[in-house]
Amino acid sequence: MAQLGIKIHDLEFKNPVTVASGTFGFGEEMAQFVDLNKLGGIFVKGLTLKNREGNDYPRMAETASGMLNAVGLQNKGIDYFTHHIYPNIKDYNTHIIANVNGGTVEEYVELTEKLNELDRVTAIELNISCPNVKAGGMLFGTSCPSAIAVTDAVRKVYDKTLIVKLSPNVTDIAEMARAVEGAGADSISLINTLVGMAIDAEKRKPILSTVTGGLSGPAIKPVALRMVWQCYKSVKIPIFGIGGIMNATDAIEFILAGSSAIQVGTANFIDPTISEKIILGIDEYLNRHKIASVSELIGALEVH
């Protein structure tokens, strides 16, 4: 067995395989399929201060090698999470990482302060890249000054590990990565979904109720790999690679491009046990290549 442990800021992860926010519920729903204790970490479903009903149906469109979603951060709010969900998941032996969303900087800060009270939430992922909400979300993650403002404000009230989730819907991802690193992020995760749309030609109407939505799945993997690689060359903080990871080979590719850890997202919808299989597959790869530790592979891409 190879060494699968990795470090993100001051947190030890037993392996680099985590699951992406919005693709794994709060963990509870998936416990019937996966031994949650085996995962490196769980990025739970995006949280907001107050209950959000999300967008109208239809919220999903299947596309070539992927899907569009327009869920719009449906969740019952932080207080419900604290009292009804957190007690059920806090004792799993894995990192519970909260995905933090807000319409204003003040909302991000207030939500972060509430999460700071929960001992077993060992890190937060600042979501400044959700494309499916009208206020906040991606608006914060597509301009450097606002990304800096929200990261800086949250940093001031949060001492634990702060991960910032970047949007790919920008001209220069490395510039965004440097901006949030400068504002105090301990880590970045990328990529969130790419804004896209799907059309029903027969009805001459958009398929999603919101017209546009976020594209995920293998369709976005090449873009995600490129962006992880660009960020790896631009910042010193560790990276969670995300984008169409369907198997262990995909995960290895992201690690080679510069990810310290990865998030499995849309693949959970098709095979809810895939995260465990990816852990085994990474181990198999390391053994086959006689590599003692996965950390040796981080950014080990041989460009020339």
Catalytic residues, which ones?
130
Structure tokens at 71: 């869920």
Contact 276, 255 (CB under 8 A): no
Q: What are phi and psi of 176, to 5 degrees?
A: -65, -40
For tokens 């999460």, the residue is 115
106 interacts with another protein by CB under 8 A = no
Of residues 148 through 187, those in contact with another protein by CB under 8 A are none
Which member of 1, 57, 203, 302 binds another protein (CB under 8 A)? 57
For tokens 């799907």, the residue is 198
Stretch of residues binding another protein (CB under 8 A), selected from 4-12, 27-35, 142-150, 221-229: 27-35
88 interacts with another protein by CB under 8 A = no
Q: Which is nearer to another protein, 57 or 302 (CB)?
A: 57
For residue 16, give the nearest of 222, 268, 223, 293 by alpha carbon: 293
Of residues 239 through 268, those in contact with another protein by CB under 8 A are 266, 268
Contact 133, 95 (CB under 8 A): no
Which member of 5, 9, 58, 80 binds another protein (CB under 8 A)? 58
217 interacts with another protein by CB under 8 A = yes
Contact 46, 284 (CB under 8 A): no
Q: What contacts 112, CB < 8 A, 6 or more positions away? A: 100, 124, 126, 154, 157, 158
127 interacts with another protein by CB under 8 A = no
Of residues 7 through 26, those in contact with another protein by CB under 8 A are 22-25
Which member of 9, 38, 74, 175 binds another protein (CB under 8 A)? 74
Report in angstroms how near the CB of residue 54 gets to another protein at its nearest: 6
269 interacts with another protein by CB under 8 A = yes
Q: How many CB atoms lie within 10 A of CB 170?
A: 20
Report in angstroms how near the CB of residue 124 gets to another protein at its nearest: 20
Phi-psi region of 90 (alpha: psi -120 to 50; beta: other; left: phi over 0): alpha
Q: Which is nearer to another protein, 23 or 230 (CB)?
A: 23
What distance in Å separates the CA atoms of residue 113 and residue 298, rounded to the nearest whole number? 32
What distance in Å separates the CA atoms of residue 288 and residue 121, rounded to the nearest whole number? 35
197 interacts with another protein by CB under 8 A = no
DSSP symbol at 21: T
Q: Which is nearer to another protein, 224 or 257 (CB)?
A: 224
Contact 235, 177 (CB under 8 A): yes
Report in angstroms how near the CB of residue 175 gets to another protein at its nearest: 32
Residues that bind another protein in the complex, under the rule CB under 8 A:
22-25, 29-30, 32-33, 45, 51, 53-54, 56-60, 62-67, 69, 71, 74, 217, 266, 268-273
